[in-house]
Amino acid sequence: MKPSWLKVKVGSGENFYKVMETIKKEGLHTICHEANCPNLGECFSRGTATFMILGDICTRNCRYCNVKHGKPAKTDYLEPKRIANAVKKLNLKYVVITSVTRDDLKDYGAKTFRNTIKEIRKISDAKIEILTPDFNLDINALKKVIAIRPDVFAHNIETVERLFPTIRPKSNFRRSIVFLKKIKELNPKQITKSGMMVGLGETKKEIIKTIKTLKMAKVDIFTIGQYLQPRKDLAEVKRYYTPDEFLEFKNIAYKLGFKLVFSGPLVRSSYHAEEAIKCIGG
């Protein structure tokens, strides 16, 4: 049984239905829906959503993720324009763009991230945060995205290093850390962000070590939240952390020097993402 602090509100109100209608009309995907995010109701009611590009089928099979995996469809080259139209219709001031992992593509989807940012900027002055896969550490792919200067560049570590082989079997902890370091090397002024879940069987010592490792990679914004099992065939919750423990993680992260920290049971990578404006001077 879930603890009382994990109860969420059902979405309602004009903004909620406007976001739902716009997503459906434009034929778009959101990580909010695909990942079964507990904050969907709250975020949609606030008029925010995290758009997911490159389809809805991932080439990897992480044991915590509700997104479908398998062989993806062909890239939809009109998707960036539809995303931009949705941003304009919803009058968004801050937009988050993420994607499934596309190991089947030559540039791992970097060009589509770039084109989506370009299309949004043609018709909107919204700040743009991107949350990308690791591009298999393809530096040329990374350079394509860095060159267009997203306002915030996020890549999630998701869990502690010891659990990667079972929880993220097709990913690699060290590769993700190097990826985050490379972003800063290519553009030292780029605001970077990373996040993780807890409750998958890690220890507090491992959590703190991971936070320290992200800070060593010069990550600016850190998020940490409780893992919730989205389907019965996915990894089980090993432990529910208390709000006081999340406050402890928050204090540790701030003491290490992160510019902005989101820590709480229901925190997800894009939760209240617009607060990153505090870091980018928007």
Q: Identify the pLDDT of residue 281.
A: 59
Q: Which domains does the chain have, with CATH numbers?
A: 12-280 (3.20.20.70)
Element (H, E) at 221: strand 221-226
Q: Identify the pLDDT of residue 94.
A: 85
Q: Identify the pLDDT of residue 35.
A: 46
CB atoms within 10 A of CB 62: 20
Q: Identify the pLDDT of residue 173.
A: 98
Q: Identify the pLDDT of residue 218.
A: 97
Q: Would you say 160 and 209 are in contact if contact means Cβ atoms under 8 Å apart?
A: yes
**Rounded distance, CA 173 to CA 179, Å?**
10
Return all residues near 153 (Cβ < 8 A) that are at least 6 apart: 129, 130, 132, 145, 146, 183, 190, 191, 192, 193
Q: Identify the pLDDT of residue 181.
A: 98
Task: Name the stretches of the chain with pLDDT < 70.
Answer: 8-49, 271, 280-282
Predicted TM-score (pTM) of this structure: 0.89
Print burial letters for 223-232: b (CB count within 10 Å at least 16), e (below 16): bbbbbbebee
Q: Would you say 6 and 265 are in contact if contact means Cβ atoms under 8 Å apart?
A: yes
Q: Identify the pLDDT of residue 90.
A: 83
Q: Identify the pLDDT of residue 269.
A: 81
Q: Identify the pLDDT of residue 74.
A: 87
Q: Would you say 276 and 152 are in contact if contact means Cβ atoms under 8 Å apart?
A: yes
Q: Identify the pLDDT of residue 52.
A: 86
